[in-house]
């Protein structure tokens, strides 16, 4: 089972995919047309109305009421990461 959500973040159309990676656990990936494809941004765990956005690294998890909200939190944090921020700072569509 997988989940797919679309957001506008930093003036860019972002697609987030959460693919099942165990019981009640999903690997979350983000893509942005012309900028990056399938970048892992964290984990989504839970079910119903009890979800956690789990970041890579030492950052604490964030409780959420929906999978969509948790994925949005992960994506918003990802675009600020040093390795990804350059892809979202300019309006250019090609990067070397």
Q: Per the confidence metrics, is the pTM higher than 0.85?
A: yes
Tens digit of pLDDT for each residue in 16-72? Answer: 999 999 999 999 999 998 888 899 999 999 998 999 999 998 889 999 999 999 999
Tens digit of pLDDT for each residue in 68-95? Answer: 999 999 999 999 998 888 887 765 544 4
**Average pLDDT of the residues in 7-21:** 93
> By the 8 A CB rule, do 65 and 20 touch?
no
Ramachandran category for residue 7: left, alpha or beta (phi over 0 → left; psi -120 to 50 → alpha): beta
Distance CA 68, CA 18 (A): 10
């Amino acid at each position: 089972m997988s989940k797919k959500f679309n957001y506008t973040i930093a003036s860019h159309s972002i697609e987030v995919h959460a693919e099942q990676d165990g019981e009640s656990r999903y690997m979350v990936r983000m893509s942005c047309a012309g900028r990056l494809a399938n970048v892992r941004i964290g984990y989504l765990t839970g079910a119903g109305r009890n979800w956690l956005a789990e970041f890579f690294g030492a950052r604490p998890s964030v409780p959420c009421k929906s999978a969509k909200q948790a994925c949005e939190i992960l994506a918003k944090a990802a675009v600020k990461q040093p390795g990804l921020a350059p892809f979202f700072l300019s309006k250019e569509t090609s990067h070397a």
